[in-house]
Amino acid sequence: MEEPPSIETVYEAIYALYNQNTNPAEKQRASSWLNEMQKSVYAWKIADELLARKMDLNSCYLAAQTMRSKLQNSFHELPQDSHTSLRDALLNHLSKLDDTTDGVIATQLCVALAHLALQMGSWKNAAVDIASRYNSLKTCFILELLTVLPEEVNSRTLRLGANRRSEIYTEFSENLPAVNQLLELCLTSEPNDERIKIRSYKCFASWLNIRSVSMSHVWNSNVLSNAFNVLCTFDGSNMVQEAAADAVIAFLQTLEDNNNQDEIQLEILNSVSRLEQAYMMSVTNEDLDRTVNYCRIFTELAESLVMTMINKSLGANGLPHFSIKALELVILCANHHDYEVLLITFNLWFRLSEELYKLNNNTLTEMFKPYFEQLIGALYKHCMIETDREGLLDEGGEDFADFRMKCSDLIKDVVFIVSSSAVFQQMYMLLQTASLSNATWDQMEAALFIMQAIARNILPHENEVVPKVVEAILNMPETVHINMRYTSVMLLGELCDWISHELHSETLEPILNYLQYCLRQQNLAAITAKSLHSICTTCRHHMVKHLSGLLEILKVVDMLNLPNDVAIGLLKGVAVIVAEVPEEHVYKAIKEICWRQLNPLLALAESTSDTTIPETNTPSDPIYWLDRLSAILRHLVTKTHSEKDQCVVAVVEMWPSMSKICTRYKTDARITEHFCRCLRFMIRLVSRSTVALLAPVAQQIAFLYKEHHHSCYLYIGSIMVDEYGSKFDNPLVMSQCHSILLEMIDAFIEPAFRLFSEQDGLRNYPDTVDDFFRLACRFIQKLPMPFLQSPVLEVIIRCSITAVSLDHKEANASVMKFLLDLLICGKSKKDNTNYEERKQYVRSIVNSIGEQLVDNLIQASVFSLQTYMLPDVIDVIIELMAYDKDQTLRWLNGAVEKLPKKNSAGLVTATNEQCLQFLNSFHCYENDGELCRSLREFSRYFR
C-alpha cells in the first residue's frame, strides 16, 4: 500500500466485509484489502481515527484489533518521540468506554496498551500510573489493564529481551504494593459487585504468576484473605468462587519457590484445611463446580509441598513432616463419587511417585504407602462401570473409557510403592468376595481391570493366585457381561510373560482356544487380536505348532470383515512366529500371509481408476492392504544373510507387483506415503542378503519424484543409502551400490531445490527439507568419500546454511545433523579409509563457508529458533572450533558485532559486557551444556 487510503475507503471495506448481503467474492476482496491496510504503516493513524469516530461496532473492533496487532508486531515502525502521544491516545480511547462497549474491544485496547507499556522504556512504573487513574477510568478497565500487563511480559512476539524483562520484573516487584492497595480498595468500596470481585481476583492471580513477589507480603494481603473468606462461605456465585480459587492457587504455586518457611507453610496448611467443611458442604449440595475448585486448591497445596514433605521427612527422627497432611485433603477428594474430581489429582500422584522412585528410600516409601493404598482403593471404585450398561464401554471413545485408561497408567506408575503382588492379591480377594456374595458384575470387572494394569509386573514363578484367575476366566459362563469378557481378554494378553514361562506352558492351548472363541465376536475382535499378538510375541517358541491354526484364524478375520487393526494385530503375531518355523516351511508361510494382502491390492490397482475415491479403512482402500503388508514385513526376520534364504526369496519375488502398485498410485500422496512405509520394511528385511532391489527401487523412486514431489520418496532414498551404503565386503558390489545411490540423489536435487527456491520454499515444505537432509546425512555416514567428491555437495551445503534459521523442529534438526556429520566426517578416525583425504576436503569446506555459517547460526539462535533447538547450534560451533578455534572465535566475534545493540524503542538489547561474557564462554568451557546455557541466556537478550 503505497499511499494512505481515505477513512471513507476504509469504512467502505469494513461495510463490505461485514454486510450480510455482500457477495462472497467482494467479501474476500475487502478482507484482503483490510489485511494489507493493517500491515501498512498508515494503519496506526487509521486505527486511531476509527476509534475516535466510534461510528459502529465493526469499525471499532477492527481498529482495536489493528492497534493491538501493530503494537505486538510492528512497534519498530513508530519513532520514539511518538510513544507518549500514542499512550495518551490509547488511555483517552479507554476512558471513553462504558458498560455498553463490547468486551472484545475493551480487551483488545487493554492488551494494546499493555504491549505499549512493556515496550516503552520511558513509561516508568506504568502499573502505578494505571492504578492512579482510579477516578478517570472505569474500575473494570483498570483491573483488566493491570491483569494483562504481567500476562504479556513473556510474549515471544514482543521480543522485549532479557534486560528489559529483568527491568520490568524489578519494577513489578516494587509496584505490587500499589496494585494490591488498589485491589483492596476495589473489594471494599464495591463489595457487592461480583464483576469487580472476579476481576480483582484474576488481577491478583496474574501478578502472583510473575513469581517476583514476596510470599510473606502476599500472605498478609487482604485480597488473599478476602478470597479465603469467599471460599469458606456457601453463598455467592460460582464464578466468584472460581476466581477466588484461582487467586488462592496462584498463591500456593509460589510455595514451591519458598519452601524453607515452615511457620508460614503451617499457617497456609491450616488455612486451606479450614476449607474442608466448605468442601463437604459442596458435596452435600451436589455443587460439582465448587467441589472441583476445592479439589484444585487441595491438590495444588500438596503438589507445591511435595519436595518439602519428602526432604523434611528424611530427618533424623524418622517422623513425617507436618506438610504430609495435605495428602489427606487430596485423598478426601479422591473418594468423591464423580471421577472428574479424582482426575484433578492425578498429576500430584505421578509426581510424588516419581520423586519416591528416584530416591529409592524404603523408609520414605513406607511413610507414603498408606496414601497410595487409599488411592488404589479409590481407583478401584471409580473404575466400576454402571451396572445397567449393555454395550462395550469403549464404544464411541467416551470420556469414562479414557479416564479408565488414565487410571491404568497411574496404577502402573505408582504400584511399586504398594507392590504389584499385594495389589493383585487384594483384587483377587475382592473377586472372591464378590463371587461369594453374588455381587454385581461391575465390582468383579473393576478388579480384573486393576489386575491387567499390573499383570506384566507379576513374577513368572507366581503359582498361587494367577492360575486361579486364569482358570476363572477360561470358565466364564456364556451369559457373562460383555465388559467382563473384554477385560478378561485384555488381562490374558497382559499376562503374556507369565504364560510364556515353562512352568505355565500347559495353559497356552486352552488360552488360545478361548481367544479364538472371543475373536469370532465382533465387539471383542480388536482386543482379542491385541492379546494374541502379545502372546505370540512372548511365546513364539511354543507357538510354532499352532501356526496353522493362526493362519486359519486369519481366514476367519477376513470372512467376518472385522476392523483392520484386528488383522494387523494378528499378522504381527504370525510374522513373529514365522521366524521360528523350520527353514523348509518358511517360504510357504511367507507366501501365504504376504500374498493374502498383495493379491487384493493388485486387484484394486487393476480395477479402479484415478477418479475412484476409496472408502477409508475398508478393503476398497489400498492403504487397508498396505498397512497389513507393512505389519508383516516389519516383524519378519531372515535366518541367514544369503540370497537363497527362503524369506529373502519370497520377499524379492514381491517387487514386480509392488512396482506396479507404486506406479499406479503415484499421484496419490496419501497412498504413496503408506506404500513407502511398506517398502521401507521390505528393504530393511532383505538388504543384508541381496542387492537385487537396489537398482530397480532407486531408479523408480528417482523417476517418480521428478513427476510428483512426494517427500516420502526422499525418505526411502535415505533408507536405501543406510542399507546399501556400507554393508558389503565385496569392493565391486560396493562400488556399484555407490554409483546407483549417487545417481539417485543427483536425480532428486533438481526437483527438490526447485521447491526450496520458491518464495518461503524452505518454510512451506518442511517435510521435504527434513527428508532431503536426512538423505544427505546418510550419504555422509555411509559413503563419505564418494559424497565429498560429488558435484551435488556444494549446492546442498549452501542450502543448509540458509536452512539453519528454519523454525521447524524436525526439519531444522535434520539440517543441523547434516552440518554436524559433515564436520565430524573430516576428523573421525572410526573408519581410517581415506582419512587424510576426507580431512582435507572438509577443511577446505570449512574455510569456504565457515564465516557465513557462524553468522547464520548466531542470527538464527537470536531471532528464529526455539530455545530447545540451540544445543544443535552449539554442537556445530564446537565442531568448527575443532578445525580452527581461533578462526571460529573471530567469526563468532564478527557475528555478535552485527547484532543490533538497541531495539526499536531505543532500549539496550545486550550490553558490551554481556556480549563479551558470551564470547568469553567459548574460550574456556568445561562441557557442551555450559555453552548451551550461555547461548540460551545470550539469545534471551534479543527475544
The predicted pLDDT at position 800 comes to: 97
**Global pTM exceeds 0.75:** yes
pLDDT digits (tens, 9 = 90+) for 23-75: 888 999 999 999 999 999 999 999 999 999 989 999 999 999 999 999 999 99
Please, are residues 785 and 760 in contact by the beta-carbon 8 Å criterion? Answer: no
pLDDT in the model for residue 618: 86
Tell me 194's DSSP state. H
Distance from C-alpha of 475 to C-alpha of 125, rounded to nearest angstrom? 76
* Distance, C-alpha 331 to centroid of its chain: 30
**What pLDDT is attached to residue 396?**
56
What digits encode the pLDDT tens for the residues 341-387? 999 999 999 999 999 999 999 999 999 999 999 999 999 999 999 99
In the predicted structure, residue 830 carries a pLDDT above the cut 70: no
Residues near 379 by Cβ (< 8 Å), separated by ≥ 6?
A: 342, 407, 410, 411, 450
Residue 450 — pLDDT band, cuts 50, 70, 90?
Answer: very high
Nearest-angstrom CA–CA distance, 90 and 71: 12
Question: Which residues pair with residue 908 across a beta bridge?
Answer: 902
Confidence of residue 628 (pLDDT cuts 50, 70, 90): very high
Place of cell 493383585: 424
Report pLDDT for 692.
94
Would you call 902 helix, strand, or coil by DSSP? Answer: strand
Q: CB of 542 within 8 A of CB of 500?
A: yes
Task: Assign 460 to helix, strand or coil.
Answer: coil
Interval 620-635 mean pLDDT: 94
pLDDT for position 58: 92
Contact partners, residue 390, CB within 8 Å, separation at least 6: none
CA atoms in the 13 A half-sphere facing the CB of 184 = 13
Q: Does position 260 have pLDDT exceeding 70, yes or no?
A: no
The predicted-structure confidence for 136-164, as pLDDT tens digits, reads as follows: 889 999 999 999 999 999 888 888 999 99
> Is residue 212 classed as helix, strand or coil in its secondary structure?
coil
Rounded Cα distance, 49 and 491, in Å: 69
Q: How far apart are CA 243 and CA 237, in angstroms?
A: 10
pLDDT tens digits, one per residue of 75-92: 989 998 899 999 999 999
In this structure, the dihedral spanned by the alpha carbons of residues 794, 796, 798 and 802, taken in order and rounded to 10 degrees, is: -170
- Per-residue pLDDT tens for 527-579? 998 899 899 989 888 888 888 888 888 877 777 667 788 788 888 889 999 88
Mean pLDDT computed over every residue of the chain: 91
pLDDT value for 158 = 86
pLDDT at 316 over 60: no
pLDDT at 234 over 90: no
**Which residue intervals of 7-155 are DSSP H helices?**
7-18, 24-39, 43-53, 57-73, 83-95, 103-119, 126-131, 139-151
d(CA 443, CA 857): 61
pLDDT at 728: 79
Dist CA 586 CA 545 (whole Å):
14
State the Cα angle at 538 between 532 and 543, rounded to 5°.
65
In terms of average pLDDT, the best of 433-442, 654-663, 723-732 is 654-663
Task: State the Cα–Cα distance between residues 392 and 483, nearest whole angstrom.
Answer: 6
Q: What is the pLDDT of residue 727?
A: 75
In the chain, the percentage of residues whose pLDDT exceeds 90 is 72
Q: Where are the alpha helices (DSSP H) in 419-475?
A: 420-436, 441-454, 466-474
* Res 397: pLDDT: 67
Q: Does 437 have pLDDT greater than 80?
A: no
Task: Report the pLDDT value the prediction gives residue 159, as an integer from 0 to 100.
Answer: 86
Give the tens place of pLDDT for each residue, 214-232. 777 888 899 999 999 999 9
Confidence check: pLDDT of 810 > 90: yes
**Stretch 787-806: mean pLDDT:** 95
- Is the model's pLDDT at 874 over the cut of 80? yes
Average pLDDT over residues 182-191: 91
Cα–Cα distance measured from residue 493 to residue 452, given in angstroms and rounded to the nearest whole number: 8
Query: Cell numbers at residue 643, please?
Result: 540370497
pLDDT (0 to 100) of residue 710? 95
Q: How confident is the model at residue 595 (pLDDT cuts 50, 70, 90)?
A: very high
Q: To 10 degrees, the CA torsion angle through 123, 124, 130, 133?
A: -90
As a dihedral over the C-alpha atoms of residue 370, residue 372, residue 377, residue 378, rounded to 10 degrees, the angle is: 120
